[in-house]
Structure 1
Amino acid sequence: MNLFKRLMCSVSAVAVSAFLVIPVMAANEAQWKRNDKGWWYEEADGSYPTNAWKLIKDKWYYFDGIGYMVENRWIGNYYLGADGAMLVNTSTPDGYYVDATGKWVEGVRNTVNISKTSGSGTKRSSSVAGSSRSGGSGGSGGSRRSGGGSGGSGRSSGGSGGSGRSGGGSGGSGRTGRGGSGSGSSSGSGVGTAGTTGNTTASNNTASNNTAVNNNNTTHSVNNNVTVPSGNNTVVIPSGNTGNNTVTTPNTTTPAVSTQETQIIEALKAMGLTEKEAKLYYKINAYRESLGLPKLSFSKSLTEVARAHVRDSNTYTPENQVDSRGEQGNLHSWSGNGSWTRLVYTDDHHYGNGMWSKPREITNYTGNGYEISAKYSGMISPETALNLWKNSPGHNQVMSTQGMWSDLKTMGVSIDGHYAHVWFGSDADPDGYYDVANYDVIHP
């Protein structure tokens, strides 16, 4: 009987350089623009805000990681309405009151009890004020402003891929080749169940997603490359200022971080985790909670693997290696400068065993490991990594342990420099977990 093997769902966000031809515009000619993905605000110089608050004609708006205006969801303690403007002096659709500055007033509720925020599936809880409002992701897929959105310029073709045993269609993002939406130009690929490949090009930072499966020696793959535009690519914490085109806060204060988040992060730091590692772990679980999913445990062994990979990535950039066929590696590659086997991990998943085995090569962990990865041109933040993964169907399926990934119960996290690597597993960790009292998680 053949055992079912799973090739990791690899999610890579790779920083690349590109040149943009920006038309000359008259001074102060900032304007709203729209495509089929949503609205964004373009400045006179052609740039636009990302991961930032912006005051425009006396109304506050928030723009997501690829620059689209956020609608119908919470950002911290502030709610963005259907027109994208921050609500003030009113009740939100889920029944909470916001004051004149737009900030949620704890303990004050409308008599109407709507348990889910519009479009996010998020239940409000005062103990997780900083995270539970984040809800769904803004604008997944392509970020190219001209031609816009999912599917790019229409060069996509479905393709049945290989032997066509299960007939998976264009955009498959999981182990079984289920349908999904690719971004940009795509074509069928893979052996057996069809997968797809998609590419959208815009400017500076690219997020890509590789999902693959090894099921009875049949490989399925999907690769969605989503480009993050140039401009302000850091998470902007609003701060007091004035002017219609200045990034400031609604009320000159930083939106509050929940008490629970602070407590969990401090407890994890006391166990030896860095603040970024603790925050990324917490935010992934907060996102899972917003979807009604249980929180995953924090594996010591998988964290050791993730840390080793982050160090190796920052020091040697092993994704720049090529294999004996001349194929370029991706972010799941490892150099030969460590206590592991060198791996040039290529997009065709030819070296899948080299990925699964890394936890066994480095730690006492006996099971397979599955990785999502991100690289950023600047210093990567937990928020940037999480937003990239949330905005890609392939990343999102792994983080939310959906479909064929439903047996994943634990993760290991590391983030430093330009890289973030998160490893997932379904086997018990013999070296234990970073467990925090009163923070309920599931274990294998």
Structure 2
Amino acid sequence: MKNFQYIFIILLLIPFSLQAQDFKKHCISGEEEKLYNLINDYRKEQNLPEIKLSKSLSYVAKAHCIQLADSIQELTHAWLQCDYRTYDASTYACMWEKPMELTNYTGYGYENAFVVYGDNATAEKALAGWKSSKFHNDVILNKNMWKDLNWKAIGIGIYKNFATVWFGEEKDIEGNPVLCN
């Protein structure tokens, strides 16, 4: 029985170990780097400061894109393990806390998500979509309900037909992601 308990504990730890390995190796694609630059260029046009690229938030952004494309298959801030509902504020924390759950990031994360059907997401399409949505544009430009928040970190993810950008108020101790080979 004791051996069974050890095996059970080891099996429980495997996903966390694999997740840590994935995080350590995380890199961003050229298209993700392009989206990062487009967002900062857009902010500069509005006389807003550049936001530092975050390895942690980029990991979260890519992980969410993968879940959205391969499992959930619809545009939502929900995750398989997070029943986020736009109309229910009691569910918001499971999305905001996702960076702390998946990485060493020490603050909340706030997400803009984008989908295109029948094609792959691109940096240009994602930013155009967010700019055309008042609420998503406000997040990027710190307007209205977002005006008092100071973005110190940004993460970018693009996978298949989804793109997400995550904003955070804390600096990322993990620094910047590297560009994938």
TM-score range, shorter chain: 0.7 to 0.9
Distance 2:166 2:102 in 1: 13
User: Are the equivalent residues in 2 in contact too, given 1:303–1:414 (CA < 8 A)?
Assistant: yes
Alignment coverage as a number of residue pairs: 150
Distance 2:29 2:139 in 1: 24
Counterpart code for 1:352 = Y
Counterpart code for 1:331 = T
TM-score by structure 2 length?
0.76
Unaligned runs of 5+ in 2: 1-25
CA deviations on 1:200-254 (whole Å, 9 max, x unpaired) are xxxxxxxxxxxxxxxxxxxxxxxxxxxxxxxxxxxxxxxxxxxxxxxxxxxxxxx
Distance 2:73 2:83 in 1: 7
User: Are the equivalent residues in 2 in contact too, given 1:276–1:416 (CA < 8 A)?
Assistant: no
Counterpart position of 1:396: 137
Counterpart position of 1:252: none
SS in 1 for 2:64: helix
Distance 1:365 1:299 in 2: 9
1:385 aligns to 2:126 (yes or no): yes
Unaligned runs of 5+ in 1: 1-270, 320-329, 336-341, 436-444
The alpha-carbon deviation at position 434 of structure 1 amounts to 4.6
CA deviations on 1:39-93 (whole Å, 9 max, x unpaired) are xxxxxxxxxxxxxxxxxxxxxxxxxxxxxxxxxxxxxxxxxxxxxxxxxxxxxxx
RMSD: 2.0
SS in 1 for 2:60: helix
Equivalences for residues 238-317 of structure 1 within 5 A: 272-317=27-72
Match of 1:365 among 105, 114, 125: 105
The alpha-carbon deviation at position 318 of structure 1 amounts to 5.7
Distance 2:65 2:177 in 1: 19
Greater share of residues in strand: 1
Counterpart position of 2:161: 418
Distance 1:272 1:351 in 2: 30
1:354 aligns to 2:82 (yes or no): no
Distance 2:165 2:76 in 1: 12
Distance 2:60 2:130 in 1: 20
1:344 aligns to 2:83 (yes or no): yes
Greater share of residues in helix: 2
TM-score by structure 1 length?
0.32
Q: Which has the higher contact order (CA 8 A, sep 6+)?
A: 2
The alpha-carbon deviation at position 374 of structure 1 amounts to 0.4
**Greater Rg by CA:** 1
Equivalences for residues 136-175 of structure 1 within 5 A: none
